[in-house]
């Protein structure tokens, strides 16, 4: 498989800065106190949570967000794996930038 | 990136719903120091079946392989007393009592699971022997125990709703009406 690095770099430049998945409507307490420790593989106990800081409906949106984030992460992993498997090919002629 | 399995969030959801109803204390004592884990969900769900109604008991029949849950609660007793008062006042039979009908539908809805290996019943009539109760029978192939606590919470919410309306109708108590403070002049005199 050949990679068009020029196109890839152009797409990277065109990509908008910001989180890969919108956090709109996601309870900030859940992002900070459930998702972050989970991603950092920190120990989180049932007794550590403040159950008044979120509504039960918030967990539905939070669940959706986590799935979307995981999907985005999987796509990135896929791209990374493809990149790492691609063998570099030397230029046929010496080039100067 | 590690996937956050749905059961991880479901276990938090279960704690949250119990917490909002003031029913999480017992479970928190046992599991407060336990690490949140998707694998804990089924154990937590099973343990919380007994947390919803004040007096819950379960029995296992080894020969039949059937687990019987009995749910009793002072609120359930109050509902039955109020229903009898309603029936006397309106000279209707228990079958014609709309509150009984409504609550029975709430029980049916709360204990509706996608399995053939379970059954439920209720003993809420004055002619029924023993304490007022809701019964749940789970066979060996019943795989929906994790959904039972939320079903029971829905039933409890429905019970509160029916009791609130019955109190208003029978006793004339409206819990939303707050007693007003005495007029300013009276308060001055009292001072």
Whether A93 contacts chain B with CB within 8 A: no
B183 domain residue, yes or no: no
Same domain, B72 and B45: no
Q: Which of B28, B36, B37 to mutate to test the interface with A (most CBs of A within 10 A)?
A: B36
Distance in angstroms (rounded) separating the CA atoms of residues B70 and B137: 9
Q: Is B1 helix (H, G, I), strand (E, B) or coil?
A: coil
DSSP codes, A13-53 = HHSPPS-SS--TT--HHHIIIIIHHHHTT---BGGGS-TTS
Q: What is the pTM of this model?
A: 0.81
Alpha helices in chain B (DSSP H): 6-20, 25-31, 41-48, 74-89, 98-110, 148-166, 184-190
B182 domain residue, yes or no: no
Q: Is ipTM beyond 0.90?
A: no
- The H or E element containing residue B123 is strand B118-123
Tens digits of per-residue pLDDT, B162-173? 999 999 998 875
Same domain, B45 and B139: no
Would you state the structure tokens that stand for residue A56, as one six-digit string? 């039960």
Contact B33 A47 (CB under 8 A): yes
Would you state the structure tokens that stand for residue A60, as one six-digit string? 């539905």
B83 domain residue, yes or no: yes
B187 domain residue, yes or no: no
Same domain, B36 and B108: no
Same domain, B38 and B63: no
Distance in angstroms (rounded) separating the CA atoms of residues A83 and B131: 69
Same domain, B26 and B63: no
Crossing angle of the two packed helices B6-20 and B41-48, in degrees rounded to 10: 20
Residue A45 is nearest to which of B8, B17, B34, comparing CB atoms?
B34
B180 domain residue, yes or no: no
Structural domain of residue B26, as residue ranges?
A: 1-51
B119 domain residue, yes or no: yes
Q: Chain-wide mean pLDDT for chain A?
A: 89
Query: Where does residue B37 rank: exposed (0-12), middle (13-18), buried (19+ CB within 10 A)?
Result: middle
pLDDT grade for B3, boundaries at 50, 70 and 90: confident
Would you state the structure tokens that stand for residue B177, as one six-digit string? 């009406």
Total of domains in chain B: 2
Tens digits of per-residue pLDDT, A75-84? 989 988 988 8
- B169 with B86: CB under 8 angstroms? yes
- B153 with B71: CB under 8 angstroms? no
Q: Which of A26, A46, A64 to mutate to test the interface with B (most CBs of B within 10 A)?
A: A46
Same domain, B104 and B156: yes
Same domain, B47 and B133: no
Same domain, B66 and B30: no
pLDDT in the model for residue B95: 94
pLDDT in the model for residue B173: 56
Same domain, B46 and B65: no
pLDDT in the model for residue B29: 94
Same domain, B73 and B133: yes
Mean pLDDT, residues A58-86: 91
B186 domain residue, yes or no: no
pLDDT in the model for residue B109: 97
Distance in angstroms (rounded) separating the CA atoms of residues A69 and B117: 38
Residue A45 is nearest to which of B8, B16, B35, comparing CB atoms?
B35
Among A21-35, B86-100, B164-178, the range scoring the smallest mean pLDDT is B164-178
What is the percentage of chain B residues whose pLDDT exceeds 90? 82
Same domain, B76 and B156: yes
Q: Which residue of A has its CA nearest to B22?
A: A51
Distance in angstroms (rounded) separating the CA atoms of residues A44 and A37: 7
Q: What is the DSSP letter of B35?
A: B
- B12 with A59: CB under 8 angstroms? yes
Q: What is the DSSP letter of B23?
A: -
Contact B28 A39 (CB under 8 A): no
Same domain, B87 and B125: yes
Residues 6+ apart with CB under 8 A from B69: B49, B50, B56, B57, B58, B135, B136, B137, B138, B148
Give the full edge-to-edge strand order of the sheet including B66-72.
B55-61, B66-72, B133-138, B118-123
């Amino acid at each position: 498989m050949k990679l068009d690095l020029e196109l890839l770099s152009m797409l990277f430049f065109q990509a908008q800065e910001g989180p890969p998945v919108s956090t709109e409507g996601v309870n900030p307490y859940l992002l900070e106190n459930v998702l972050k420790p989970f991603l950092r593989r920190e120990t989180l106990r049932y007794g550590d949570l403040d159950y008044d800081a979120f509504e039960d409906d918030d967990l539905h949106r939070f669940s959706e967000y986590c799935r979307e984030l995981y999907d985005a992460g999987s796509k990135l992993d896929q791209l990374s794996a493809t990149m790492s498997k691609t063998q570099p090919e030397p230029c046929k002629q010496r080039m100067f930038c | 990136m590690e996937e956050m399995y749905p059961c991880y969030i479901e276990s938090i959801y279960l704690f949250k719903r119990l917490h909002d109803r003031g029913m999480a204390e017992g479970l928190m004592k046992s599991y407060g120091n336990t690490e949140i884990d998707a694998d804990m969900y089924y154990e937590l769900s099973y343990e919380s079946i007994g947390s919803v109604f004040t007096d819950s008991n379960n029995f296992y029949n080894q020969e039949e392989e059937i687990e019987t849950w009995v749910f009793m609660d002072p609120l359930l007793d109050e509902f039955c007393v109020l229903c009898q008062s309603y029936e006397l006042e309106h000279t209707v039979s228990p079958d014609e009592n709309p509150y009984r009908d409504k609550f029975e539908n709430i029980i049916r809805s709360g204990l509706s699971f996608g399995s053939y290996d379970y059954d439920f019943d209720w003993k809420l009539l004055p002619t029924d022997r023993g304490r007022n109760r809701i019964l749940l029978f789970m066979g060996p192939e019943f795989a929906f125990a994790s959904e039972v606590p939320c079903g029971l919470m829905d039933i409890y919410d429905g019970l509160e709703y029916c009791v609130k309306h019955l109190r208003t109708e029978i006793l004339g108590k409206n819990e939303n009406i707050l007693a007003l403070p005495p007029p300013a002049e009276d308060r001055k005199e009292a001072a």
